């Protein structure tokens, strides 16, 4: 089976899992590694734990303590505890359809395959994908790749090779990346997107079975994704 290369430098060797479904966090998890504990502490202090600068502070501390370069979420994860009060939560769409790769710095984003950037775009509103691009792999056995929350400087549509720098991670200042802590949204598409359509990032429980066929789990294509 064909697989993807690293979408970020040293991703396969310097990543660790970050569980974002509060109900799935093991009870023995140290407080510094437990984002549910962090959210509760922020709320006790009257601060919004969902604010990008506060999320970034949690990520930075955990990255420094563990010595890894990236924190990686799980595909199909229910994030209702983190999304409470948001418009997505009110719509019942809390199951994530990609994986998020969190970083301290504005890392270079690499093409994970030989292919063609078929679209670049930007969602200007808050809590969106911000800058994004879509890659069609040359290998037709691989799904399309959607990369979101990018910086404003990125490659234009056209041919790319595996490992080419296609962008950098966007920052939350000026809403460059859609207003989130620094991370890459990595999502797969089983077919090319309709013209001007932007992939859906979250599903409801009812829609997840059908949407997961449109946006499949990246794990089989990147075996070391969440180790």
Q: How confident is the model at residue 224 (pLDDT cuts 50, 70, 90)?
A: low
Q: What is the mean pLDDT of residues 125-132?
A: 91
Residue 130 gets the label, from left (phi > 0), alpha (psi -120 to 50) or beta, of: left
Q: How far apart are CA 46 and CA 41, in angstroms?
A: 9
Taking residues 27-55, what's their average pLDDT?
Answer: 95
Q: Residue 53 burial by CB count (10 A; 0-12/13-18/19+): exposed, middle or buried?
A: exposed
Structure tokens at 198: 């932007």
Measure CA 221 to chain center. Answer: 16
Per-residue pLDDT band at 226 (split at 50, 70, 90): low
- What average pLDDT does this structure show over 63-90? 91
Mean pLDDT of 20-47: 96
Q: Is the pLDDT reported for residue 105 higher than 90?
A: yes
Q: In whole angstroms, how large is the CA radius of gyration of the chain?
A: 17
Q: Where are the domains of the chain?
A: 1-219
Phi, psi dihedral angles at 40 (to 5 degrees): -65, -40
Average pLDDT, the chain: 94
Give the Å distances, CA to CA, from 222 to 20, 32, 133, 186, 187. Answer: 20, 28, 19, 11, 12
CA–CA distance, 168 with 154 (Å, rounded to integer): 7
14-34 mean pLDDT? 95
What pLDDT is stored for residue 197 in this prediction? 86
| Alpha carbons 37 and 61: distance in angstroms, whole number | 14
Q: What is the mean pLDDT of residues 213-221?
A: 95
Correct CATH for 1-219 of 2.70.70.10, 1.10.287.110, 3.90.1300.10, 3.40.50.300: 2.70.70.10
For residues 127 and 178, what is the distance between their CA atoms, to the nearest angstrom? 5
Over residues 136-168, the pLDDT tens digits come to 999 999 999 999 999 999 999 999 999 999 999
d(CA 111, CA 6): 8
Start-end of H helices in the chain? 35-44, 52-66, 80-83, 87-90, 208-214
**pTM of this structure:** 0.96
pLDDT of residue 12: 93
Query: By three-state DSSP, how is residue 19 classified?
Result: coil
The string of pLDDT tens digits covering residues 108-126 is 999 999 999 999 999 988 8
What six digits make up the tokens of 87?
């418009």
Helix (H, G, I), strand (E, B) or coil at 213: helix
Task: Give 150's contacts (C-beta < 8 A, 6+ positions apart).
Answer: 109, 130, 131, 132, 133, 167, 168, 169, 170, 177, 184
- What is the structure's pLDDT at 222? 87
Dihedral over alpha carbons 142, 146, 147, 153 (to 10 degrees): 110
């Amino acid at each position: 089976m064909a697989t993807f290369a690293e979408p970020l430098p040293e991703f396969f060797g310097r990543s660790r899992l970050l569980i974002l479904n509060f109900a799935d966090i093991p009870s023995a998890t140290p407080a510094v590694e437990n984002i549910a504990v962090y959210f509760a502490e922020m709320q006790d202090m009257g601060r919004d734990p969902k604010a990008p600068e506060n999320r970034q502070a949690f990520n930075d501390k955990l990255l420094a303590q563990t010595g890894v370069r990236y924190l990686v979420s799980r595909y199909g994860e229910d994030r209702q505890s983190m999304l409470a009060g948001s418009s997505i939560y009110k719509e019942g769409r809390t199951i994530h359809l990609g994986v998020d790769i969190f970083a301290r710095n504005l890392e270079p984003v690499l093409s994970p395959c030989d292919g063609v950037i078929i679209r670049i775009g930007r969602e200007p509103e808050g809590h969106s994908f911000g800058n994004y691009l879509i890659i069609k792999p040359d290998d037709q056995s691989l799904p399309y790749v959607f990369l979101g929350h990018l910086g404003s400087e990125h490659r234009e549509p056209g041919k790319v090779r595996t490992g080419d720098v296609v962008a950098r991670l966007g920052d939350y200042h000026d809403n460059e990346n859609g207003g989130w802590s620094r991370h890459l949204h990595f999502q797969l598409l089983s077919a090319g997107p309709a013209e001007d359509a932007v992939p859906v990032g979250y599903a409801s429980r009812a829609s997840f079975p059908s949407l997961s066929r449109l946006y499949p789990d990246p794990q089989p294509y990147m075996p070391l994704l969440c180790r």
